[in-house]
Amino acid sequence: MTNFIQQIVSGLASGGIYGLLALAIVLIHRSTGVINFAQGEMATLSTFVCWALMDHGWAFWPAFGATLLLSFAGGVTLQAVVIRPIQSGPLLGIVILTIGLLIAFNGLDTWIWGGAAKQFHGPFSTAPIRVGGVAFSKQDLGVIAVAFVAVALIGALFTRTRLGLGLRAAAVNPIEARLVGIRVAAMLALGWGLAAMLGAVAGVMAAPSLFLEPNMMQTVVLYAFAAAVLGGMDSPIGAVVGGLLLGVLLNLVGTYVHWIGGELRLATALAVILGVLLLRPSGLFGRAALRRA
Protein backbone atom coordinates (compact mmCIF):
# COMPACT_ATOMS: atom_id res chain seq x y z
CA MET A 1 0.00 0.00 0.00
CA THR A 2 2.87 2.34 0.84
CA ASN A 3 4.49 1.82 -2.56
CA PHE A 4 1.10 2.31 -4.25
CA ILE A 5 0.65 5.75 -2.64
CA GLN A 6 4.20 6.75 -3.49
CA GLN A 7 3.65 5.80 -7.12
CA ILE A 8 0.48 7.89 -7.25
CA VAL A 9 2.27 10.96 -5.87
CA SER A 10 5.19 10.47 -8.25
CA GLY A 11 2.70 10.00 -11.10
CA LEU A 12 0.93 13.24 -10.17
CA ALA A 13 4.28 15.06 -10.31
CA SER A 14 5.10 13.82 -13.81
CA GLY A 15 1.45 14.19 -14.79
CA GLY A 16 1.52 17.82 -13.70
CA ILE A 17 4.33 18.45 -16.18
CA TYR A 18 2.43 16.64 -18.94
CA GLY A 19 -0.68 18.63 -18.04
CA LEU A 20 1.10 21.99 -18.21
CA LEU A 21 2.53 21.23 -21.64
CA ALA A 22 -0.80 19.78 -22.80
CA LEU A 23 -2.54 22.95 -21.62
CA ALA A 24 -0.11 25.01 -23.71
CA ILE A 25 -0.88 22.84 -26.74
CA VAL A 26 -4.64 23.19 -26.18
CA LEU A 27 -4.44 26.99 -25.75
CA ILE A 28 -2.82 27.38 -29.16
CA HIS A 29 -5.11 24.82 -30.77
CA ARG A 30 -8.25 26.50 -29.43
CA SER A 31 -7.17 29.97 -30.50
CA THR A 32 -5.77 29.18 -33.96
CA GLY A 33 -6.76 25.59 -34.81
CA VAL A 34 -3.05 24.76 -35.05
CA ILE A 35 -1.24 21.93 -33.26
CA ASN A 36 2.11 23.39 -32.29
CA PHE A 37 4.65 20.60 -32.72
CA ALA A 38 7.41 22.97 -31.55
CA GLN A 39 5.92 23.35 -28.06
CA GLY A 40 8.43 20.97 -26.46
CA GLU A 41 11.41 22.65 -28.12
CA MET A 42 10.16 26.07 -27.03
CA ALA A 43 10.02 24.73 -23.46
CA THR A 44 13.56 23.38 -23.78
CA LEU A 45 14.86 26.74 -25.03
CA SER A 46 13.20 28.51 -22.09
CA THR A 47 14.79 26.02 -19.68
CA PHE A 48 18.23 26.66 -21.19
CA VAL A 49 17.66 30.39 -20.67
CA CYS A 50 16.83 29.78 -17.00
CA TRP A 51 19.92 27.58 -16.63
CA ALA A 52 22.12 30.24 -18.26
CA LEU A 53 20.85 32.92 -15.87
CA MET A 54 21.54 30.66 -12.89
CA ASP A 55 24.97 29.84 -14.32
CA HIS A 56 25.68 33.58 -14.27
CA GLY A 57 24.93 33.82 -10.56
CA TRP A 58 21.18 34.36 -10.43
CA ALA A 59 19.18 32.61 -7.71
CA PHE A 60 16.54 30.19 -8.96
CA TRP A 61 13.35 32.18 -8.37
CA PRO A 62 14.57 35.46 -9.95
CA ALA A 63 15.91 33.45 -12.91
CA PHE A 64 12.61 31.57 -13.15
CA GLY A 65 10.60 34.82 -13.11
CA ALA A 66 12.81 36.39 -15.77
CA THR A 67 12.50 33.22 -17.88
CA LEU A 68 8.71 33.39 -17.74
CA LEU A 69 8.74 37.01 -18.91
CA LEU A 70 11.20 36.27 -21.71
CA SER A 71 9.18 33.21 -22.74
CA PHE A 72 5.98 35.24 -22.87
CA ALA A 73 7.66 37.91 -25.00
CA GLY A 74 9.13 35.23 -27.26
CA GLY A 75 5.75 33.55 -27.75
CA VAL A 76 4.05 36.84 -28.61
CA THR A 77 6.85 37.79 -31.02
CA LEU A 78 6.82 34.35 -32.66
CA GLN A 79 3.09 34.59 -33.34
CA ALA A 80 3.28 38.16 -34.63
CA VAL A 81 6.35 37.73 -36.84
CA VAL A 82 6.23 34.11 -38.01
CA ILE A 83 2.72 32.70 -37.55
CA ARG A 84 0.43 35.66 -38.29
CA PRO A 85 1.63 36.33 -41.88
CA ILE A 86 0.61 32.81 -42.98
CA GLN A 87 -2.29 32.31 -40.56
CA SER A 88 -4.91 32.83 -43.25
CA GLY A 89 -3.23 30.30 -45.53
CA PRO A 90 -3.64 26.51 -45.63
CA LEU A 91 -3.61 24.86 -42.21
CA LEU A 92 -1.09 22.30 -43.43
CA GLY A 93 1.38 25.09 -44.14
CA ILE A 94 1.22 26.30 -40.53
CA VAL A 95 1.66 22.75 -39.22
CA ILE A 96 4.74 22.27 -41.40
CA LEU A 97 6.02 25.61 -40.13
CA THR A 98 5.76 24.45 -36.51
CA ILE A 99 7.70 21.31 -37.43
CA GLY A 100 10.35 23.58 -38.97
CA LEU A 101 10.41 25.62 -35.77
CA LEU A 102 10.95 22.39 -33.82
CA ILE A 103 14.06 21.63 -35.87
CA ALA A 104 15.26 25.25 -35.71
CA PHE A 105 14.92 25.55 -31.93
CA ASN A 106 16.61 22.20 -31.40
CA GLY A 107 19.51 23.27 -33.60
CA LEU A 108 19.72 26.63 -31.83
CA ASP A 109 19.97 24.95 -28.43
CA THR A 110 22.72 22.64 -29.67
CA TRP A 111 24.60 25.50 -31.34
CA ILE A 112 24.57 27.74 -28.25
CA TRP A 113 24.86 25.25 -25.38
CA GLY A 114 26.14 22.07 -27.00
CA GLY A 115 24.65 18.59 -26.94
CA ALA A 116 26.03 17.43 -23.59
CA ALA A 117 23.54 16.95 -20.75
CA LYS A 118 23.70 19.58 -18.00
CA GLN A 119 22.61 19.21 -14.42
CA PHE A 120 19.78 21.59 -13.58
CA HIS A 121 19.42 22.46 -9.91
CA GLY A 122 15.76 23.13 -9.24
CA PRO A 123 14.26 24.81 -6.19
CA PHE A 124 13.24 21.57 -4.47
CA SER A 125 15.53 19.01 -2.87
CA THR A 126 15.18 15.27 -3.39
CA ALA A 127 15.09 14.69 0.38
CA PRO A 128 12.09 12.62 1.48
CA ILE A 129 9.22 13.73 3.71
CA ARG A 130 7.66 10.92 5.75
CA VAL A 131 3.94 11.01 6.42
CA GLY A 132 2.41 8.02 8.18
CA GLY A 133 5.29 5.78 7.16
CA VAL A 134 5.10 6.85 3.51
CA ALA A 135 8.10 8.71 2.07
CA PHE A 136 7.33 11.49 -0.39
CA SER A 137 9.98 13.34 -2.38
CA LYS A 138 10.10 17.08 -1.76
CA GLN A 139 10.77 17.54 -5.45
CA ASP A 140 7.62 15.63 -6.44
CA LEU A 141 5.49 17.58 -3.97
CA GLY A 142 7.02 20.87 -5.14
CA VAL A 143 6.36 20.10 -8.80
CA ILE A 144 2.73 19.20 -8.00
CA ALA A 145 2.30 22.47 -6.07
CA VAL A 146 3.81 24.59 -8.88
CA ALA A 147 1.66 22.84 -11.49
CA PHE A 148 -1.54 23.44 -9.53
CA VAL A 149 -0.65 27.10 -8.87
CA ALA A 150 0.08 27.68 -12.57
CA VAL A 151 -3.17 26.03 -13.63
CA ALA A 152 -5.15 27.96 -11.00
CA LEU A 153 -3.71 31.27 -12.22
CA ILE A 154 -4.53 30.45 -15.85
CA GLY A 155 -8.02 29.36 -14.81
CA ALA A 156 -8.56 32.59 -12.90
CA LEU A 157 -7.35 34.61 -15.89
CA PHE A 158 -9.85 32.95 -18.22
CA THR A 159 -12.84 32.95 -15.88
CA ARG A 160 -12.40 36.05 -13.69
CA THR A 161 -10.99 38.75 -15.94
CA ARG A 162 -12.14 40.73 -19.00
CA LEU A 163 -8.86 39.84 -20.69
CA GLY A 164 -9.66 36.17 -20.27
CA LEU A 165 -13.13 36.75 -21.68
CA GLY A 166 -11.55 38.42 -24.71
CA LEU A 167 -9.20 35.46 -25.18
CA ARG A 168 -12.11 33.01 -25.05
CA ALA A 169 -14.21 35.09 -27.43
CA ALA A 170 -11.36 35.41 -29.94
CA ALA A 171 -10.83 31.65 -29.82
CA VAL A 172 -14.50 30.64 -30.12
CA ASN A 173 -15.71 33.16 -32.72
CA PRO A 174 -13.10 35.62 -34.02
CA ILE A 175 -15.48 37.28 -36.50
CA GLU A 176 -18.07 38.22 -33.89
CA ALA A 177 -15.30 39.12 -31.46
CA ARG A 178 -14.01 41.72 -33.93
CA LEU A 179 -17.51 43.16 -34.27
CA VAL A 180 -17.67 43.90 -30.54
CA GLY A 181 -14.26 45.60 -30.53
CA ILE A 182 -11.96 42.78 -29.42
CA ARG A 183 -8.51 42.95 -30.97
CA VAL A 184 -8.38 39.36 -32.17
CA ALA A 185 -4.81 39.54 -33.48
CA ALA A 186 -3.57 40.76 -30.09
CA MET A 187 -5.55 38.03 -28.32
CA LEU A 188 -4.00 35.34 -30.52
CA ALA A 189 -0.51 36.66 -29.83
CA LEU A 190 -1.31 36.74 -26.12
CA GLY A 191 -2.43 33.11 -26.33
CA TRP A 192 0.92 32.11 -27.82
CA GLY A 193 2.69 34.05 -25.09
CA LEU A 194 0.75 32.27 -22.34
CA ALA A 195 1.43 28.92 -23.99
CA ALA A 196 5.16 29.71 -24.10
CA MET A 197 5.07 30.58 -20.38
CA LEU A 198 3.34 27.30 -19.50
CA GLY A 199 5.90 25.43 -21.56
CA ALA A 200 8.67 27.19 -19.66
CA VAL A 201 7.17 26.10 -16.34
CA ALA A 202 6.92 22.51 -17.57
CA GLY A 203 10.51 22.51 -18.84
CA VAL A 204 12.00 24.01 -15.70
CA MET A 205 10.08 21.58 -13.48
CA ALA A 206 11.11 18.59 -15.61
CA ALA A 207 14.81 19.48 -16.00
CA PRO A 208 16.04 18.44 -12.51
CA SER A 209 14.96 14.83 -13.08
CA LEU A 210 15.56 14.56 -16.83
CA PHE A 211 18.86 16.50 -17.11
CA LEU A 212 18.99 19.46 -19.47
CA GLU A 213 19.93 18.77 -23.10
CA PRO A 214 18.48 19.79 -26.47
CA ASN A 215 16.25 16.71 -26.79
CA MET A 216 15.00 16.81 -23.20
CA MET A 217 11.32 17.48 -23.96
CA GLN A 218 10.88 15.40 -27.10
CA THR A 219 9.47 12.43 -25.20
CA VAL A 220 7.62 14.61 -22.70
CA VAL A 221 5.77 16.42 -25.49
CA LEU A 222 4.48 13.07 -26.79
CA TYR A 223 3.05 12.39 -23.35
CA ALA A 224 1.58 15.90 -23.42
CA PHE A 225 -0.11 15.20 -26.77
CA ALA A 226 -1.50 11.98 -25.28
CA ALA A 227 -2.80 13.98 -22.31
CA ALA A 228 -4.40 16.58 -24.58
CA VAL A 229 -6.10 13.89 -26.67
CA LEU A 230 -7.24 12.06 -23.53
CA GLY A 231 -8.75 15.19 -21.98
CA GLY A 232 -9.96 16.76 -25.22
CA MET A 233 -8.12 19.07 -27.60
CA ASP A 234 -10.67 21.85 -27.01
CA SER A 235 -10.74 21.56 -23.22
CA PRO A 236 -8.11 23.31 -21.04
CA ILE A 237 -9.43 21.52 -17.94
CA GLY A 238 -9.35 18.25 -19.83
CA ALA A 239 -5.70 18.78 -20.78
CA VAL A 240 -4.69 19.15 -17.14
CA VAL A 241 -6.83 16.26 -15.91
CA GLY A 242 -5.61 14.14 -18.80
CA GLY A 243 -2.00 14.87 -17.87
CA LEU A 244 -2.56 13.92 -14.22
CA LEU A 245 -4.42 10.73 -15.16
CA LEU A 246 -1.79 9.77 -17.70
CA GLY A 247 1.07 10.36 -15.26
CA VAL A 248 -0.53 8.18 -12.58
CA LEU A 249 -1.52 5.50 -15.12
CA LEU A 250 1.98 5.25 -16.59
CA ASN A 251 3.56 5.06 -13.14
CA LEU A 252 1.21 2.34 -11.92
CA VAL A 253 1.46 0.32 -15.13
CA GLY A 254 5.25 0.63 -15.17
CA THR A 255 5.44 -0.55 -11.55
CA TYR A 256 2.89 -3.34 -11.42
CA VAL A 257 2.80 -4.61 -15.01
CA HIS A 258 6.32 -6.00 -15.15
CA TRP A 259 6.46 -6.79 -18.85
CA ILE A 260 5.88 -3.09 -19.59
CA GLY A 261 8.32 -1.57 -17.11
CA GLY A 262 9.99 1.65 -18.16
CA GLU A 263 10.78 0.60 -21.72
CA LEU A 264 7.18 0.56 -22.97
CA ARG A 265 5.90 3.69 -21.21
CA LEU A 266 5.86 5.67 -24.45
CA ALA A 267 4.13 2.83 -26.26
CA THR A 268 1.50 2.82 -23.52
CA ALA A 269 0.93 6.56 -24.00
CA LEU A 270 0.56 6.08 -27.75
CA ALA A 271 -1.89 3.25 -27.07
CA VAL A 272 -3.91 5.69 -24.95
CA ILE A 273 -4.04 8.11 -27.91
CA LEU A 274 -5.19 5.34 -30.24
CA GLY A 275 -7.80 4.07 -27.79
CA VAL A 276 -9.26 7.51 -27.16
CA LEU A 277 -9.39 8.35 -30.87
CA LEU A 278 -11.23 5.10 -31.56
CA LEU A 279 -13.68 5.20 -28.65
CA ARG A 280 -14.16 8.91 -27.94
CA PRO A 281 -12.44 11.16 -30.49
CA SER A 282 -13.44 14.33 -28.61
CA GLY A 283 -11.69 13.18 -25.42
CA LEU A 284 -13.05 12.86 -21.89
CA PHE A 285 -13.96 16.55 -21.57
CA GLY A 286 -14.16 17.59 -25.21
CA ARG A 287 -17.33 18.37 -27.11
CA ALA A 288 -18.22 16.13 -30.02
CA ALA A 289 -18.30 17.99 -33.33
CA LEU A 290 -21.73 18.06 -35.01
CA ARG A 291 -21.81 17.42 -38.72
CA ARG A 292 -24.75 17.96 -41.01
CA ALA A 293 -25.61 15.20 -43.38
Which of 31-40, 97-106, 166-175, 282-291 shows the lowest per-residue confidence on average (mean pLDDT)? 282-291
Kindly state the percentage of the chain with pLDDT values over 70: 94
Q: Let me know: does 204 contact 47? Beta carbons within 8 Å.
A: yes
23 part of a folded domain:
yes
105 part of a folded domain:
yes
Comparison of pLDDT for 228 and 32, the residue scoring more: 228
pLDDT of residue 292 exceeding 70, the answer is no
Q: How many domains does the chain have?
A: 1
**pLDDT band at 164; cut points 50, 70, 90:** confident
Q: Let me know: does 158 contact 164? Beta carbons within 8 Å.
A: yes
pLDDT in tens, 25-81: 988 887 777 889 999 999 999 999 999 999 999 999 999 999 999 999 999 999 989
- The CA-atom distances, in angstroms, between 86 and each of 24, 80, 89, 188, 232 are 21, 10, 5, 14, 26
272 part of a folded domain:
no
Q: Let me know: does 234 contact 287? Beta carbons within 8 Å.
A: yes
What is the overall mean pLDDT for the chain?
86
pLDDT of residue 157 exceeding 70, the answer is yes
128 part of a folded domain:
yes
Comparison of pLDDT for 42 and 83, the residue scoring more: 42
DSSP H helices, 173-235, are 174-179, 184-210, 218-231
Question: What is the maximal distance between C-alpha atoms in the chain?
Answer: 63
Q: Pick from 11-20, 62-71, 240-249 the range whose average pLDDT is largest.
A: 62-71
Interatomic CA distance for residues 246 and 41, integer angstroms? 21
pLDDT score for 77 = 94
- Provide mean pLDDT across the span 211-235: 89
Interatomic CA distance for residues 203 and 241, integer angstroms? 19
237 part of a folded domain:
no
pLDDT score for 249 = 87
184 part of a folded domain:
yes
33 part of a folded domain:
yes
114 part of a folded domain:
yes
Q: List the domain range (segments joined by +) for residue 205.
A: 19-216
